[in-house]
Chains A and B, each alone.
Chain A
Amino acid sequence: MVGEELVGMTPEMIEASQAGMKALGAGLAVGLTGIGTGLAEMAIGSAAVGATAENKDVFGLVLLLTVIPETIVIFGLVVGLLLLF
């Protein structure tokens, strides 16, 4: 089946389909890692706001803790960019 479908495709079509797959992959890499980062930061962020409300001095520390999961989406972004360019 797969072979039959490919037979009907011109090289341009195959190339375009590959480019599309790359774009999809890049989108998935950024989107899914973004969701991951969001989920991770959700709990940390709410706890951080609570802690800051109790004691303002911990602001620097909790900001640091909150942004740690951001690395996940950055990895996704790196993969996405490397896929596209």
Chain B
Amino acid sequence: MLTPEQMSKVLIAGPKDALDSVIAELDSQRLFHIEDFVENDQEEYTGYKIGNPLAGAGDISKELLRLRSVTGAFSLQGEDLDPKARIRRSELAAQIEKELPRIEDEVESLLAKRSALENHQKEIEQKIEVLTPFADLRTDLSLLHGYRTLTIFAGTIAKKIDLGVPSEVYHSESKKGNFLVAAVPVEYRQEVERKLLDAQFQAVPIPDEPGPAKERISVYNVQREADRKDLEEISNQINALKSQHSEFLAACDELLSIEAEKAEVPLRFATTDHAFVAEGWVPTESLEGLVNGITKASGGKAYVTQLPVEEGKDLPPMEYHNVNFVKPSQFLIDVYSRPKYTELDPTLIVSIVFPIFFGLILGDVGYGALLLAMSLGLRMVIKGDDGRMLLDVLRNASIASIIFGFLFSEFLGFPIPGLHPVLPTRHLNIGGEAGGHGPAVPELMIMAIWIGIAYITLGRILGMINHARQDHGSHRVKAVLANLGWIMVMWGILLMIWSFFAMPLMPDLTGYPALVAGLSIPAIAGVVLILVGILLIARDSALEIVELPTILSHVLSFARLVGVGLSSVAIAMVVNFIAIGLIIEPQLEHLTIIGVILIIVGVFVFLLGHLFNAILGLLGGGLQSLRLNYVEFFTKFYKGGGRKYDPFGLKRRFTED
């Protein structure tokens, strides 16, 4: 439970003619985590080289590339599909020969048509853009070209000017700026150019089109519309092909990906001219099955043996080893960092504690039920593995929220009638309705502090175990004792506080008589604990002493369980007060038509407010509980940074052998 899946280091060796069958067996078993072979000066691998891909690898890759261009055009994601039935691989291979090229050709021709149309559309748009400034000019555009004695100027200009030479000028004014077309005899060209330059003239190209600009624009607009329709038609055809073939294409992708991976795996093996060697990791409990499978598949030619694990040099990959209930929480651990193989796996603890913290913060039957419905409803939409795990975490958390809702006796901020809260009450006195004495804040605070003390002590104990398992030599003892030192300092401080102040829900040690310097026996015990603890910490690393104040801040940090929770209750009660106390109830006394409308508004405020608060509660409760685990708990013992166990072979969803 707290330890990962036990791994064994395995070596597979055999003649090259058994390579195919061994790879096929490894692929179908999906157990062998390959350690990539690196060519270096390792003594035992002298003379070995990285292997070559199997025959046909190039063809498979090319075929896969072509297929991916089609699935890319469809934006097809295998993950989003729910396969109805699995196709046998032999059957699929035959279909791939026959049907895949046909579909690919069809799609490729459609794609080619589409890109041609898109290019055409762009060209037309450019032409329209060039023509637009000339739209109001009635002249035939072909008349603006090809004169020997005339120069034509066309462009934008800052203001209307008088050219002062014999000329024919067209001038238009619009919001975008002034536009000028002028025909000037060639001999005045330089003079006019100077004048135009002073008037910030910017030339535009004169379109080479027959007829007036307005006519040409409407012609092009018709063409553009036709292109748009054609494009729509093509995208309809592509969509039709997608819905018809998506599952087949996903199956092809899977099959070809498997084949490509198999063909390229010798690149990770060590080979000579006639033999190959592969090193890797296998879960110990599956070792026997792998050995038998490979021996059988290769006809006894390949040899499998277990290698001794060298501590410090070999770092096995890490695979979680948890019961089903705990598995969704692995997602939360992976977000932080996967545990190292030698480290304790905290998933079990987090899977129990995270929902409890969430429930303590958002303990409300109504919100819990809402989030539970949401987590179940979203299962229809979210398909990926990670998404499912997150939804399962949310489901567990919302069930905890419902349970704590009963313990706090809360439903959307209302007390549940007839149910006395088991835990200290969180009901506030909002809206002036005298309802009891308000929340039992001191009791709630102390409860949170107790949780903090217990959780941090647990973290330090796990830290002791981790150091005992991972470290060696004198550092091991020091590190274990340093963790013990942290526990001693924390409890020492507690003893001191208890001996001076009496607090609810905590031991009262104030009654003992003072012995030395105003300190009673418990206080002296506290001082001794603190001093010995500091000594133990300093012996491991003197720098750690500056971290001592974190004892206080980390324990107090658990007060967020109360603080964030109370703010959520407060918002719920305010929503209730505004919607019911201020809007709905006064109308119910004298019912009028406007009153009915106001009541509807009140109901709307009620629903919107609680939805808003539920989302806030989800974010607040989720992030704060996660943070308490990540920051306050994990920092005491957990390092992470393990390698993920990633066995060779792809998961089959669409195909079967």
Check if A and B associate.
yes
Contacts of A63 in B (CB 8 A): 335, 626-627, 630
Q: Is the interface of A mostly helix, strand, loop or mixed?
A: helix
CB-CB < 8 A to B626: which residues of A? 63
Please, which residues of chain A bring their CB within 8 A of the CB of B439?
85
Contact B563 A74 (CB under 8 A): yes
Q: In this complex, what residue of A is CB-closest to B557?
A: A71
Question: Which residues of B116-162 have CB atoms within 8 Å of chain A's CB atoms?
Answer: none
- Cβ contacts under 8 Å, B64 to chain A: none
Given known contacts A60-B337, A67-B627, A70-B627, A77 and B438 CB-to-CB distance under 8 angstroms: no
Which residues of A lie under 8 Å from residue B640 when comparing CB positions? Answer: 60
**Contact for B553 among A59, A64, A71, CB less than 8 A:** A71
Do the beta carbons of A74 and B556 come within 8 Å of each other?
yes
Is A42 engaged at the interface, CB distance under 8 Å to the other chain?
no
A13 to B201, CA, bound (A): 79
Q: Is the beta-carbon distance between A78 and B445 smaller than 8 angstroms? A: yes
B622-642 contacts to A, CB under 8 A, are: 623, 626-627, 630-631, 640
Expressed in whole angstroms, the minimum distance between the Cβ of B638 and any Cβ of chain A is 11
Within 8 A of B (CB), among A43-73: 59-61, 63-64, 67-68, 70-71
Is B566 close to A, CB under 8 A?
Answer: yes
A9 at interface by CB-CB < 8 Å: no
Asked whether, in the complex, the Cβ of A60 is within 8 Å of the Cβ of B445, the reply is no
Contact A61 B337 (CB under 8 A): yes
> Is there a chain A Cβ closer than 8 Å to B562's Cβ?
yes
B606 to chain A, nearest CB (A): 26
- Chain B residue with Cβ nearest A71: B557
Interface contacts beyond A59-B335, A64-B336, A67-B631: sample of 17 additional A-B pairs, CB < 8 Å, sorted by A: A60-B335, A60-B640, A61-B337, A63-B626, A64-B631, A67-B630, A68-B631, A74-B560, A75-B556, A77-B559, A77-B560, A78-B559, A78-B563, A84-B441, A85-B438, A85-B441, A85-B442
Cβ distance B372 to chain A, nearest Cβ, rounded Å: 25
Proximity bits, A23-36, B CB within 8 Å = 1, else 0: 00000000000000
By beta carbon, the residue of chain B nearest A66 is B627
> Chain A: which residue is nearest B562 at the CB level?
A81
Task: Flag if A67 contacts B623 (CB, 8 Å).
Answer: yes
CB < 8 Å neighbour of B630 from A60, A74, A77? A60
Q: What are 8 sample pairs from A and B whose C-beta atoms fall under 8 A apart? A: A63-B335, A64-B631, A71-B553, A74-B560, A82-B445, A84-B441, A85-B438, A85-B439
Q: Mark contacts of B430-459 with chain A using CB atoms, 8 A cut-off: 1 yes-contact digit, 0 otherwise.
A: 000000001101100100000000000000
CB under 8 Å from chain A, chain B span 331-390: 335-337
B426 CB to closest chain A CB, in angstroms? 11
Residue of A64, A74, A84 contacting most chain B CB atoms (<10 Å): A74
Contacts of A77 in B (CB 8 A): 559-560, 563, 567
The distance from the CB of B567 to the nearest CB of chain A, in whole angstroms, is 8
Is the Cβ of B627 less than 8 Å from the Cβ of A64? Answer: yes
A82, B559: Cα distance in complex, Å: 11
